[in-house]
């Protein structure tokens, strides 16, 4: 692995065992190989059940590959030491609903090994940034889906991560919230940080990502700049639909 690769999947396969006594195998991803370079905004595209979430879980060591190798920030993915340098937004964030936003960020900040004054300062700045400073002492159970999504973004940025993984970060957000996500990703790029964006929103991926990987049926069907799919003035939606159907033009 090169010194610049922030994430790498090398011949990765993952088989889940389901059903009675877990005897039925389900292939989630098969022989996937690609790398994400430092400072890159990298997109993961694919239809439902394509294997995108499985790759994210493998990268974050939430599960282990059946075959192949996954590395994160220069170390094997199961090396927990690098997790403090990662930020992650789940597509459906689930926080303790009886906590308030400020308390939640302070709790997660302690888990990242930041000192308490830094956590408090960063939490205040980020709550202001995501538009929640006026609601920071209210229980999360009174928050809308968009507010929870904004809080998740703040939590993911709390440790100023070298690698930011965003799984459908604009889900439930209004136009201002979507613009905020775009701004954050742009800022990370300017700072030389790395972002992995999982999204079904082609317009967002096309506007933000340097390269994309398209997964279909658990296999890598395309890897490269999204703009290369639109040669000959072919609409992007058409090109991606063809990939999803397994037809690589």
Tell me the pLDDT tens digit for each residue of 187-229.
999 999 999 999 988 889 989 999 999 999 999 999 999 888 7
| pLDDT greater than 50 at residue 152 | yes
Structural domain count, the chain: 1
> What percentage of the chain carries pLDDT values higher than 90?
73
| pLDDT greater than 80 at residue 230 | no
The CATH number that applies at residue 185 is 3.40.50.300
Contacts of 219 (CB under 8 A, 6+ apart): 29, 30, 31, 32, 51
pLDDT of residue 248: 44
Q: Spell out the alpha helix ranges (H) of the chain.
A: 52-59, 101-111, 116-129, 145-157, 175-190, 202-208, 236-244
pLDDT of residue 1: 41
> What percentage of the chain carries pLDDT values higher than 70?
96
| Contact of 122 with 82, CB cutoff 8 Å | no
Q: Distance between CA atoms of 166 and 88, rounded to whole angstroms?
A: 6
Is 202 within the bounds of a domain? yes
Average pLDDT over residues 129-149: 94
pLDDT of residue 39: 95
Is 249 within the bounds of a domain? no
Q: Which long-range contacts (CB under 8 A, 24 or more apart) does 106-113 make?
A: 108/155, 108/158, 109/158, 109/159, 112/84, 112/158, 112/159, 113/84
Domain with 108 in it = 5-244
Q: In this predicted structure, which of 91-95, 165-169, 236-240 has the lowest mean pLDDT?
A: 236-240
Three-class DSSP category at 85: helix
**Does the pTM exceed 0.85?**
yes
């Amino acid at each position: 692995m090169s010194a610049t690769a922030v994430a790498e999947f090398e011949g990765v396969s993952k088989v889940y065992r389901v059903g009675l006594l877990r005897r039925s195998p389900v292939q989630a991803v098969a022989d996937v190989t690609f790398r994400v370079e430092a400072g890159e905004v990298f997109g993961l595209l694919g239809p439902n059940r394509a294997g995108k979430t499985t790759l994210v879980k493998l990268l974050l060591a939430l599960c282990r590959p059946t075959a192949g190798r996954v590395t994160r920030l220069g170390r094997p993915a199961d090396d927990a030491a690098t997790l403090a340098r990662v930020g992650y937004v789940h597509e459906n964030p689930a926080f303790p609903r009886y906590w308030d936003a400020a308390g939640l960020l302070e709790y997660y900040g302690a888990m990242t090994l930041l000192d308490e004054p830094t956590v408090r300062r960063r939490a205040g700045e980020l709550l202001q940034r995501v538009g929640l400073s006026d609601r920071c002492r209210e229980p999360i159970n009174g928050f809308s889906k968009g507010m929870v999504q904004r809080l998740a973004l703040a939590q993911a940025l709390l440790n100023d991560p070298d690698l930011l993984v965003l799984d459908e970060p604009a889900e439930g957000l209004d136009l201002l919230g979507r613009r905020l996500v775009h701004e954050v990703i742009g800022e990370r790029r300017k700072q030389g940080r790395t972002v992995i964006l999982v999204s079904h929103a082609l317009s967002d991926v096309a506007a933000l990502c340097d390269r994309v990987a398209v997964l279909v049926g658990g296999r890598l069907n395309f890897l490269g700049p999204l703009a290369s799919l639109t040669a000959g003035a072919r609409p992007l939606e058409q090109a991606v639909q063809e990939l999803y159907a397994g037809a690589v033009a």
